[in-house]
């Protein structure tokens, strides 16, 4: 039941004992503020780290071809290995159940122009899966799709900076861009977290590029991501399996390091994930430490408050207050103050992060921030800690004989 | 109104214990005004506290208004205190962040009375002690005598059967003491039973009966001719 009188008592007590209320509120607010800021900065560090190491999918495998360095099965060294569509299909068929996304890549340099603006760019001709491998984010329009590959449509998806360079302030979507003399329709504009170079790219359907640049079915590279549920060891042996099969397919010696090169991101991922784990532990320790400091602060204040109010408790008891009403009045007051102060601390912390966050990028702190559930959880922890820290002395105080409490000056 | 039989109370002091009340027998009838006297350490305050249910006796019976007060739970003691007893303390014991009206209304709050009714009743009692104009003032803005009158109004607010006063004039100068005593006498005239602890002879003589304690036993219990306090005011 909502007891208006009880709340009146509590608000009066808070209002008339402002120093006490402000002091305990300040402790809580400060603890949450520190917690938010420290946690936010730690998260920012982790963001920077994540960005530096894991821009692209971490479960990627890149398959490249080169010249053989060793004679094998009657074939001479120095033979150039060239992947074709059938090799792409082979990988797709052979390892289909272990592959998440797969794409071929063809690289070209193109001169792109729109009206009076022109510039040289790297062109990547790809399959639709490429979007997920590269973690490309579509800003406008769409990515290359299966239809484009099938029909060899003359469409391109351009990076944000390409649009900026060539189309100046206007939108590129739906317009035609000239690549080395041929007009392509811009069907999408993308962004990428990988930095400026990644946003100065042009994507084209693989089949279109093969048709236009040489009318063959060569491809430069096969990229794939393996099933993310594979663990580190499985991923490594999967990479080795691909290497072996491809070497067999092209009659390349097992010891030939150049002809078929398979780069497995899993090898680097382990170190990265260990460091990320280390960072998370540090973050956890920081958060836990601040929270503990806050809990100790709140507990101290609650014990002090109950001590200070002992005489008042005695008076109330002499006038007929039940132990329960004594406990509830102290407890609700403490919970109220902690909750409000916690919320203020939270707002301040988030505000500070928002305010100084962008300027911290120089110090390797990117997008510092905390999840709402985390700060709310921290605040709740403090409230509960304050409630427990207040409950025990309040319970004790409600039990002492009024005469003892009254004597307390 | 009040009957006490062979009341004993001792306090532990280190390893030994101090026997404060050594078998007290006392009966107080309705509308009496009793002063409990004795030097410090005689056990007079302890007796008053036990009567006020602020403390518990070790052994012996205490019957208040036909009700045996024994082994009370905290909750029950709170209800009885609220219903039967009004307290006046030497140091007033007002809640310092509440104004006079709110202090007087507090026992009514614990009776579960509605706010409006509570305030009307509290105001009525404040008027009775002549402090209606000071209702919105905090204790620190009032004089000692005024504070004690607020305390008396508070003690009366719940309409208790028994008014207990522990050195009610102890912190006041003589003139104010007599004013307060005049007021308490007036309450007694109206039929309130009053029990008061004091060590001042002149204050005790303003009661109708004096009980003298020494070393935990009743030395003397006599009726006296009441000295009216009004004549000194």
Nearest chain B alpha carbon to A3? B112
DSSP state of A236: H
CB contact under 8 A, A403 and B54: yes
Q: At what angle do helices A323-356 and A372-399 cross, to 10 degrees?
A: 150
* Euclidean distance between CA atoms A264 and A57, whole angstroms: 11
Candidates A319, A325, A395, A397, partner chain B, best to mutate (most B CBs within 10 A): A319
Q: Which of A271-275, A327-331, A348-352 has the lowest mean pLDDT?
A: A271-275
Residues of B with CB under 8 A from a CB of A: 49, 52, 54-56, 74-75, 78-79, 81-83, 87, 89, 91, 93-95, 97-98, 102, 106-107, 109-111, 115, 154, 158
Interface test with B, best of A313, A318, A321 (most B CBs within 10 A): A318
Give the pLDDT band of residue B222 (cuts 50, 70, 90): very high
Rounded to the nearest 5 degrees, what angle is found at the Cα of A309, between the Cα atoms of A305 and A314?
150
pLDDT at A1: 47
Whether residue B206 is contained in a domain is answered as yes
**In Å, how far is B201's CA from the nearest CA of chain A?**
25
Residues B176-187: tens digit of each pLDDT: 899 899 989 999
The answer to whether residue B117 is domain-embedded is: yes
Which ranges of A309-407 would DSSP assign to H, the alpha helix?
Answer: 310-318, 323-356, 372-399, 402-407
- Measured from the Cβ of residue B190, the count of other Cβ atoms closer than 10 Å reads 8
Closest CA to B33 of B191, B186, B183, B194: B194
Give me the CATH number covering residue B89: 3.40.50.300
Cβ within 8 Å, pair A320-B158: yes
- CB contacts of A324 in chain B (<8 Å) are 75
Question: What ipTM does this complex have?
Answer: 0.88
* Residue pair A184/A156 in contact by the 8 Å Cβ criterion: yes
All structural domains of chain A with their residue ranges: 4-53+271-407, 60-264
Report the gap between the CA of B76 and the closest CA in chain A (Å). 8
Higher pLDDT, B154 or A229: B154
Q: What pLDDT, on a 0 to 100 scale, did the predictor assign at position A330? A: 84
pTM given for the model: 0.64
B195, with CB counted inside 10 A (0-12, 13-18, 19+), is: buried
pLDDT band for position A54 (50/70/90)?
low
Per-residue b/e over A275-306, b at no fewer than 16 CB within 10 Å?
ebeebeeebeebbeebbeebbebbbebbeebb
Q: Which residues of A touch B55 (CB under 8 A)?
A: 401, 403
Confidence (pLDDT) at A55: 53
Q: B110 CA to chain A: closest CA distance, Å? A: 6
A348 shares contact with chain B (CB less than 8 Å): no
* pLDDT of residue B124 exceeding 90: yes
In-domain check, residue B63: no
Domain enclosing residue B203, as ranges: 31-57+73-232
**Rounded CA gap, B108 and A329, in Å?**
17
In-domain check, residue B67:
no
Please tell me the total number of residues recorded for chain A in this structure: 409
CB-based contact (8 Å) between A406 and chain B? Answer: yes
d(CA B209, CA B221): 7
Mean pLDDT of B115-132: 91
A316 in contact with B at a CB cutoff of 8 Å? yes
Q: How do residues A6-42 score in pLDDT, each as one tens digit?
A: 788 888 888 877 888 888 888 888 888 888 888 888 7
Q: Are B26 and B4 in contact (CB under 8 A)?
A: yes
Residues of chain B contacting residue A316, judged by C-beta atoms under 8 Å apart: 95, 106, 110
Cα B203 to chain centroid, rounded: 14
Per-residue DSSP letters for B40-93? TTSSHHHHHHHHTTSS--SEEEEEETTEE--S--HHHHHHHHHHHEEEE-TT--
Nearest of A88, A186, A183, A172 to residue A130 by alpha carbon: A88
Percentage with pLDDT > 70 across chain A: 95
Give the model confidence (pLDDT) of B78-91 as tens digits.
Answer: 888 888 999 898 88
Beta carbons of B10 and B17 less than 8 angstroms apart: yes
Q: What are the pLDDT digits (tens) for B201-217?
A: 999 999 999 999 988 89
C-beta atoms surrounding A1 within 10 Å: 4
What pLDDT digit, counting tens, does each position of A202-256 carry?
Answer: 999 999 988 888 888 888 899 888 887 887 788 888 888 888 888 888 888 888 8
In a domain, B146, yes or no: yes
Residue B125 in any domain: the answer is yes
Residues of A in contact with B44 (CB under 8 A): none
Report the number of distinct structural domains present in chain B: 1
């Amino acid at each position: 039941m909502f007891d208006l009188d009880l709340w009146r008592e509590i608000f009066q007590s808070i209002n008339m004992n402002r120093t006490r209320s402000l002091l305990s509120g300040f402790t809580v607010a400060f603890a949450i503020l520190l917690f938010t800021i420290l946690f936010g900065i730690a998260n920012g560090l982790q963001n920077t780290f994540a960005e530096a190491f894991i821009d692209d999918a971490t479960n990627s495998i890149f398959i490249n071809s080169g010249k053989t360095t060793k004679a094998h099965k009657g074939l001479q060294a120095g033979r150039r290995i060239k992947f074709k569509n059938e090799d792409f299909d082979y990988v797709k068929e052979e390892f289909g159940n272990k592959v998440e996304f797969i794409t071929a890549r063809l690289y070209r340099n193109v001169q792109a122009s729109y009206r009076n603006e022109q510039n040289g760019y790297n062109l990547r001709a790809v399959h639709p899966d490429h979007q997920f491998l590269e973690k490309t984010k579509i800003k406008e329009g769409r990515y290359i799709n299966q239809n484009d590959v099938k029909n060899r449509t003359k469409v391109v998806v351009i990076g944000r900076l390409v649009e900026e360079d060539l189309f100046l302030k206007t939108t590129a979507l739906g317009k035609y861009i000239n690549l080395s003399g041929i007009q392509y329709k811009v069907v999408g504009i993308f962004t990428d977290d990988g930095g400026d170079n990644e946003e100065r790219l042009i994507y084209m359907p693989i089949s279109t590029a093969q048709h236009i640049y040489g009318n063959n079915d060569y491809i430069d590279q096969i990229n794939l991501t393996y099933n993310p549920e594979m663990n580190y060891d499985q991923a490594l042996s999967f990479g080795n399996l691909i290497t072996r099969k491809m070497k067999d397919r092209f009659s390349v010696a097992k010891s030939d390091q150049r002809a078929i090169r398979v780069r497995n991101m899993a090898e680097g991922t382990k170190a990265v994930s260990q460091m990320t784990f280390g960072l998370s532990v540090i973050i956890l320790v920081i958060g836990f430490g601040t929270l503990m400091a806050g809990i100790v602060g709140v507990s101290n204040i609650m014990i002090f408050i109950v001590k200070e109010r002992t005489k008042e408790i005695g008076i109330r008891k002499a006038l007929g207050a039940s132990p329960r009403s004594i406990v509830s009045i102290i407890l609700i007051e403490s919970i109220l103050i902690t909750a409000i102060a916690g919320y203020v601390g939270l707002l301040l912390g988030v505000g500070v992060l928002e305010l100084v966050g962008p300027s911290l990028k120089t110090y390797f702190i990117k997008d510092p921030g905390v999840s709402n559930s985390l700060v709310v959880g921290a605040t709740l922890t403090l409230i509960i800690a304050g409630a427990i820290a207040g409950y025990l002395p309040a319970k004790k105080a409600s039990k002492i004989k009024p005469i003892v409490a009254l004597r307390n000056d | 109104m009040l009957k006490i039989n062979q009341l004993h109370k001792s306090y532990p002091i280190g390893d030994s214990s101090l026997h404060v009340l050594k078998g007290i027998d006392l009966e107080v009838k309705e509308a009496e005004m009793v002063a409990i006297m004795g030097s410090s350490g005689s056990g007079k305050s302890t007796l008053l506290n036990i009567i006020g249910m602020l403390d518990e006796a070790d052994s012996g019976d205490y019957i208040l208004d036909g009700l045996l007060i024994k082994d009370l739970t905290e909750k029950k003691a709170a209800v009885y205190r609220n219903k039967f007893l009004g307290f006046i303390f030497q140091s007033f014991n007002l809640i310092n962040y509440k104004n006079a009206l709110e202090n007087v209304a507090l026992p009514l709050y614990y009776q579960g009375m509605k706010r409006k009714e509570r305030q009307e009743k509290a105001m009525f009692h404040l008027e009775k002690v002549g402090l209606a104009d000071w209702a919105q003032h905090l204790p620190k803005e009032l004089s000692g005598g005024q504070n004690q009158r607020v305390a008396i109004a508070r003690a009366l607010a719940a309409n208790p059967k028994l008014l207990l006063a522990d050195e009610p004039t102890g912190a006041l100068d003589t003139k104010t003491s007599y004013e307060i005593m005049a007021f308490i006498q007036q309450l007694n005239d109206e039929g309130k039973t009053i029990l008061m602890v004091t060590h001042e002879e002149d204050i005790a003589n303003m009661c109708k009966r004096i009980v003298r304690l020494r070393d935990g036993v009743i030395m003397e219990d006599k009726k006296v001719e009441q000295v009216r306090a009004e004549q000194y005011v």
